[in-house]
Each structure stands twice: as C-alpha cells, then as structure tokens.
Amino acid sequence: MSTLLKSLGALILLIGVGVLAFFSFTATRDNMILGVGLTLVIVGFLAHIFLNKVVDDKYLKEKVQPLLPPKEEVEAQAEAKS
C-alpha cells in the first residue's frame, strides 16, 4: 500500500505529461487541454512531495521510533554522566 501511495504523485504527473503530449501530437488547439495537463502536472508534483513525506513519517513512527530508547531514559543517562 505504501508503495502505491509513494508512486501515486508520479503517476498523476505522468498522466499530465501524457495529456500535454496528446495536445502536441494532435491538431486540437484548445487551451482547456493545456490547462488540464498543467493542472495534473502541478497536482502530481505536489502530491508526490506530500505523500512521500506522509508515508516516510508514518514509516519512521511505526518502524524506527520503537527501536529508540524513551526520551526520559536518554535524559536520565545524560544527567547521570554530568
């Protein structure tokens, strides 16, 4: 599931590029197609950044955080060394 979420932004971006490529290879000259393509590219770019951050943060909280000692324990050790 996380692999799909991480790839979703890039997939939206590629669909936007496909829409823009379709526009350039056809005789259609409509600004609406350009607007849709540009919107998909921007949304895909932002979704890629946002979803990767969310998925990575969730991974860190679930997998890495339990491996670290509790904050109180670290502070107690630091005070004991002082």
Chain centroid to CA 20: 22
- Give the pLDDT of residue 39: 94
Distance CA 66, CA 57 (A): 13
Provide the whole-model pTM: 0.65
**37 vs 5 pLDDT, higher one:** 37
For the chain, the residue count is 82
Handedness of CA 40, 42, 13, 8 (dihedral sign): negative
* Beta carbons of 46 and 9 less than 8 angstroms apart: yes
Q: Give the separation between CA 1 and CA 4, rounded to whole angstroms.
A: 5
* Interval 16-64: pLDDT, tens: 999 989 888 887 778 898 899 999 999 999 998 888 888 777 766 666 6
9, 49 contact by CB (below 8 A): yes
